[in-house]
Structure 1
Amino acid sequence: MSGEGRSVRSYRPGEWFAIVGERAVVILPPTEKSRVAALWELVDGGAGFDVTLDALISGGLRDLPAFVLVSTGEGETRVVIRGPARAEFRVGGESVRLEGSNATTWVERSLADVDRMSIVLRPEDPLADEPPTYTVDGGLFRISRLDETPAHEGPDELSEVPAYEAEFPLDENDPLGIDLIPGFGYDDDADEPAAPVRSPEPPSWTPAPVGPPPPPPPIPPPPPPIDSGHAPLEPADETDHDGLTITGAWHPPAGEPAAPDSAVPVARLVISNGDVVDVDRAIVIGRAPETRRFDDGEQPRLVTVPSPHLEISSTHVEVRPGTGADLGTAVATDLGSTNGTVLVQPGLGPEELAPGVAVQLMPGALIDLGDGVTIQVMAP
């Protein structure tokens, strides 16, 4: 925002794509998924208003029915709105509302000293006026509303006396605010100085000299060898008579997996509903995930996500630590979902995952499950 203080961004999950960068925010409708990857790399790299706007409209406005672009810096907030979105700003205690539907091309304004900002993508939504539910620092999200507010709301007028002095007045004789124990510390009313502290005198006796330590006890002689001249014992089991049985340490039966070591997360999943999951084992995500597709020895973590329109399959996608060439990273696999899984890697275009094919995930990647649910892949 235009103010010098730090601000906090928050959002409500929805269908529109929001690319949140340090200097600019771009919001696109669900139909513009193909533009998201290129703009994400630009905005995440710190591009400002002019550069982002040129890239946004480089293909013309005919195929871009709606968008929102907001840029802040140098005490000024610049905004461009096209389509059904609505933006509200608080400037100097007054409210400024901009609606993209009021113009055939777009609505553009420059505002100074903006205190608050609220962007609603679907004003006709009954939940449009509901406050945001999740905070965001930067990244790629699916939203229905985006707000930006000051991090700390201060009073209109500051008291001349600092709060800590007004609530806890300091005593001139006790600047640290510590009550003195009688008999200790300083006393302004004392007539005579305190007696000096005497150093301890050396003892009048002399300790007796200490002799050398006693010698260690002698080492006992080793026990005599065991007489092995007796006849060997008969085996307890008459069936084991071949003399080839070898006694050794116990080993687990063949086919039984050894106990796994403590797993280290290779990635962190930030789901748009607010859940954060570390990828330290297989993670199965869906509307009602089940483990029936996995081996008995596999113990994946089940993560349930909302799907009000049932666009997300019950067992939709799996994210697990990679092996072999993918060791140290996370991989995603579509589990034969009905509507598919879309992956957007940083610097690459969107791709739909082929069922059963694992794809390595880069930090910053976005997994779109549909129904407004997205998963952002972060470093652990």
Structure 2
Amino acid sequence: MVVRLQYARSASPSTIVIASDRTLVALDSRTDPGLVDQLWGQVSAGTGFESLIGSIPAESAGRQLAFVAIGDIVERADGAAFHALVNGPIGFDVAAAGAPRHVAPTGSSPWLRTNLQSVSHIAIGADAETPQFPLGAGVVATSRIDVAIGEVAQATASTSQRSGEPGSVLLDSHDDAHDGQTVAHVPSANTLTGPVRLADVPHTRPTMMFGYRVNGGQAFALDLPHRYGRSPRVVSGGEARLVPLLSPTKTVSATHLDLRQIGDAVVVSDLGSTNGTSVMEPGAHWRRMAPGESVAVAAGTFIDLGDGNVIEVMPGVPLR
């Protein structure tokens, strides 16, 4: 199984993370060190999920223990499956079948137990404002941890190997689905300088990794081209991550939008949607894109696909 973990260093860590390739436990940073040592012994020994959660107490250091436990991670063809138990307000985010979701107790219950399927990403903590570092099996104090599983992890690992820089993450872009489209330039902090054909944009090594989030949810990296729609698809020979969106009125087309990073540029492409796409760059007004138009945009840009589905382009994180 391919699992890739990364964590953010922080001067004021909020979480202690105990990790292996099949288990992840995130605890309040005030947890008794003796308990952390005990749990690390179990995780490193490969203790199963049921035995692990049975050994986690309700309190630590005289207070209720808040934690997330994820275990028995198994990679399948459509993503990972695992068991999870959330106790207290920490919660975590996942990308399941390409769609973001926050997992946390609701209502009056202080805990939640669930099984999840088709997961490619797991994230715990606030969005990282600093570079993230790779983590194998171990214990770290952090404010944020991200886990990529299966093909997503393999893609980042393979690009790191090609770079010759251990731990780095590089972009492997593909333009198969966009040959012949024109990219219009919008003033932004990227490397495109005027109208160009998308196929002619140089695939230079990026120095930043940009991201996105849908409707203010969890942020994810633009490590591959992403396609959004009610039931998005990829043309033959192309490669993209598919992100289904809810659209009760069918304002959003089945395959509506493509978002990708090329070098240090982020390119938005309307895929001939029926009801159109609007973009708003920082400090500018909403502008409606022409059907099939592609445009380079800056971090902080909002993209409206309709039916309340708004994508935000997130700032880039420097690559090592």
TM range (shorter): 0.3 to 0.5
Taking structure 2 as the reference length, the TM-score comes to: 0.41
Larger radius of gyration: 1
Structure 1 or 2: more strand by fraction? 2
Query: Could you tell me the TM-score, scaled by structure 1's length?
Result: 0.35
